[in-house]
Amino acid sequence: MIERRLSDALLIVLLIVTAASCSQSKKQIPADQMATVTRGDLVISISSDGNLNMPNEAYLKFGLPGTVKEIHVEKGDVVRAGTILATLDDTTEVLEVKAKQYLVEQAINNVMQNCCGGNYPTFYSLATGLMRFEQAQDEIKQAGAYLSENRSYDAASNLSLAKYDLSAARSVYADPKLDTFQTQYNDLQQPMPAFPELKQIVALLDARIENLDGIQQLFEAGDYTAALDSIGILSSDLDDAHTIVKSNSRLPGAYTYPDTSTSLAISRQVLDSLSEIENMLYDDNLDRVKVSEKLRMAEHDLLMSNMILDESETIYRSGLSPQTLRAYNLNIETAMIDLDQAKQDLLKTEILAPFDGTVVDIPVKVNDQLSQFDYSSKPVVHLVDTKTIKMIGTVDEVDISGIKVGQQATISVDAFPGRTVTGKVSFISPFGNLTAGEVDFPVEIYLDPTEGLQLKGTLTATAEIVTGYRDNVLMVPNRALRGPAGNLTATVVLDPDKGITEKRSVTIGLQNKTSTEIVSGLKEGEKVLIQD
């Protein structure tokens, strides 16, 4: 009897426990205690706090003392590299260029006076005009090369020099005295001008100077692609015009007195031309017009070579030594160097924008006097490149080993909540800063170009520097994992309404501050319990 009562009592206890267990298993799991195993991209990052900085800024100054003639911009203007921002009164510098040009001509005349008994060699006329024309050719070609390398400031400087040189060449060829200078006679002894194509050359130079003005306007508009195309066309036009200018200058590509070596060089060019003509004659698609042009050019060069030899023979027969002739030539070269320096000084009377930027300050005004003592220290235009921005921040010594140059970053700026921009790590300091017992390392991040976000220097910002990345991986919140490293588990919810769960071991991959990559143990779409 006693045994039967004990058995009934145990049965009652078992039923109570079972009922309690069933009651517990049927307890519904709230949605806020579960997370879904999802597939997505996992980003590992390290934070850096700092401020924005605009590294490209310049306090632009004139390279010479003088009077401020014109300010071409105002505060707030956005300008392109190569734009003329301000100019000095260049009267003195222009006169100096003319004076140096005169010294070149004087050195040439000295050669003629001493070498030729005062007789002006027919191939030496307008030497300085051709010299300035050829210098402009070189400067325009160099401008094109600079622009191809995105060196727009250097390109703009060369275009300014080319404009000076073309204008100087024009002044030589436009001299009214040349209309009657050294008149020649035809076979009927009728007078004829020595330089019949001068008006054509002046008109040609006027057109090329106008082309240069148009290219400078393209620089101001920032249309560098069109500017480069226009420079190429202009360079080709000048090459074509060079034949006309050279034929009227009668100077075979040299600025010093032509001698036997010059004649030899020209003769070699004639041989090359004849070789080209020979090849053209064997071409099935023979172009008779081009062959005729080549023959005329070869004939012209050959006559010039003979002329130089004839007059050189006369010079040497008069007792002039090659050493003396070389000394005269050196005087011409020295005068040309002085002329080039004067041109460089003339260029210093202009301030060109070295990069695209915004004018933030103009500390001077028109008619201000820049003295010999303060011109080099007195800024004229403060220009800032507001498109090129970098963030200067710090990274804790614990995380610095994970930072590498070139890593991508996402930057948030306190002044623009909810908006982010991207960037790339450009510099990591090898030296840390010790403050209150903590060490951090300066890092710099260049921001990618932004549209519609008016960022400013010194704004507070935070960067998340990406140190690891996995795309299209299974992920769960970090709060879904339990246990020590190497033995992690997750509790899978089998039936949230009945509260049925299952504990599983999982293998993980990368892990950031909020999520963990699941390599094995869970499936996409499963629910897991999360901890508070």
Does residue 519 share a domain with residue 417?
Answer: yes
Does residue 505 share a domain with residue 456?
Answer: yes
End-to-end alpha carbon distance in the chain = 54
Does residue 361 share a domain with residue 457?
Answer: no
| pLDDT (0 to 100) of residue 313 | 65
Q: Which helix (H) or strand (E) is 298 found in, with range? A: helix 288-317
- How large is the greatest C-alpha to C-alpha distance in the chain, in angstroms? 164
User: Which tokens hold the place of 390?
Assistant: 């970098």
362: domain CATH number is 2.40.50.100
| pLDDT (0 to 100) of residue 20 | 44
pLDDT bucket at 122, cuts 50 / 70 / 90: very low
The reply to whether 499 falls in a domain is yes
Residue 480 near residue 38 (C-beta atoms within 8 A)? no
Q: How far is CA 85 from CA 59, 77, 109, 358, 522, in A?
A: 12, 10, 40, 11, 66
DSSP string, 122-139: GGGTTHHHHHHHHHHHHH
Q: What is the pLDDT of residues 480-496, one digit of tens each?
A: 899 888 889 999 999 88
Q: How many CB atoms lie within 10 A of CB 185?
A: 9
Does residue 426 share a domain with residue 404?
Answer: yes
The reply to whether 72 falls in a domain is yes
Range name among 37-41, 69-73, 105-109 with the lowest pLDDT average: 105-109
Mean pLDDT of the chain: 80
Residue 211 near residue 244 (C-beta atoms within 8 A)? no
| pLDDT (0 to 100) of residue 394 | 92
293 versus 519: the higher-pLDDT residue is 519
| pLDDT (0 to 100) of residue 458 | 86
Last residue of a domain, one of 384, 408, 432: 384
The reply to whether 510 falls in a domain is yes
Residue 454 amino acid letter: Q
Does residue 502 share a domain with residue 525?
Answer: yes
The mean per-residue pLDDT over the stretch 250-259 comes to 44
Percent of the chain with pLDDT over 90: 23
CA dihedral 259, 261, 263, 267 (to 10 degrees): 180
User: Which tokens hold the place of 508?
Assistant: 């993980």
Q: How many whole angstroms separate alpha carbon 292 and alpha carbon 289? A: 5
The reply to whether 10 falls in a domain is no
Q: How many whole angstroms separate alpha carbon 208 and alpha carbon 173? A: 14
Q: Give the list of residues 6+ apart from residue 333 with CB closer than 8 angstroms, or none.
A: 255, 256
In the chain, helix, strand, coil percent, each to 5? 45, 25, 30
| pLDDT (0 to 100) of residue 124 | 43
Last residue of a domain, one of 337, 368, 384: 384
Does residue 414 share a domain with residue 361?
Answer: no
pLDDT value at 191 more than 70:
no
pLDDT bucket at 180, cuts 50 / 70 / 90: low
| pLDDT (0 to 100) of residue 61 | 92
Does residue 395 share a domain with residue 378?
Answer: no
The mean per-residue pLDDT over the stretch 164-176 comes to 80
Q: How many CB atoms lie within 10 A of CB 313?
A: 11
The reply to whether 44 falls in a domain is yes
| pLDDT (0 to 100) of residue 116 | 54
CA dihedral 405, 408, 414, 417 (to 10 degrees): 180
Does residue 45 share a domain with residue 60?
Answer: no
116 versus 176: the higher-pLDDT residue is 176
Helices (H), 149-259: 152-173, 198-221, 224-249
45: domain CATH number is 2.40.30.170
349 versus 131: the higher-pLDDT residue is 349
Number of structural domains found in the chain: 2
Residue 505 near residue 8 (C-beta atoms within 8 A)? no
Last residue of a domain, one of 331, 364, 384: 384
The reply to whether 371 falls in a domain is yes
Question: How many residues are listed for the chain in this entry?
Answer: 532
Q: How many whole angstroms separate alpha carbon 58 and alpha carbon 383? A: 5
pLDDT bucket at 339, cuts 50 / 70 / 90: confident
Q: What is the pLDDT of residues 278-312, one digit of tens each?
A: 787 777 777 776 776 677 667 766 776 776 666 66
pLDDT bucket at 444, cuts 50 / 70 / 90: very high
Q: How many whole angstroms separate alpha carbon 166 and alpha carbon 205? A: 7
Does residue 464 share a domain with residue 361?
Answer: no
The reply to whether 119 falls in a domain is no
Q: How many whole angstroms separate alpha carbon 211 and alpha carbon 209? A: 5
Three-state SS letters, 220-240: HHCCHHHHHHHHHHHHHHHHH
The reply to whether 287 falls in a domain is no
Does residue 372 share a domain with residue 477?
Answer: no
By residue range, what is the domain housing residue 360?
A: 56-87+351-384
Does residue 435 share a domain with residue 367?
Answer: no
Q: What is the pLDDT of residues 372-404, one digit of tens each?
A: 888 888 899 999 988 888 999 999 998 898 899
pLDDT value at 346 more than 60:
yes
pLDDT value at 72 more than 80:
yes
pLDDT value at 131 more than 80:
no
Q: How many whole angstroms separate alpha carbon 395 and alpha carbon 331? A: 64
The mean per-residue pLDDT over the stretch 330-359 comes to 84
Does residue 508 share a domain with residue 427?
Answer: yes
pLDDT value at 89 more than 50:
yes
pLDDT bucket at 406, cuts 50 / 70 / 90: very high
Q: How many whole angstroms separate alpha carbon 375 and alpha carbon 62? A: 7
User: Which tokens hold the place of 363?
Assistant: 């500390």
pLDDT bucket at 436, cuts 50 / 70 / 90: confident
Q: Which long-range contacts (CB under 8 A, 24 or more apart) does 397-402 make?
A: 397/432, 397/438, 397/439, 397/440, 397/441, 399/46, 400/428, 400/432, 400/440, 400/441, 402/46, 402/467
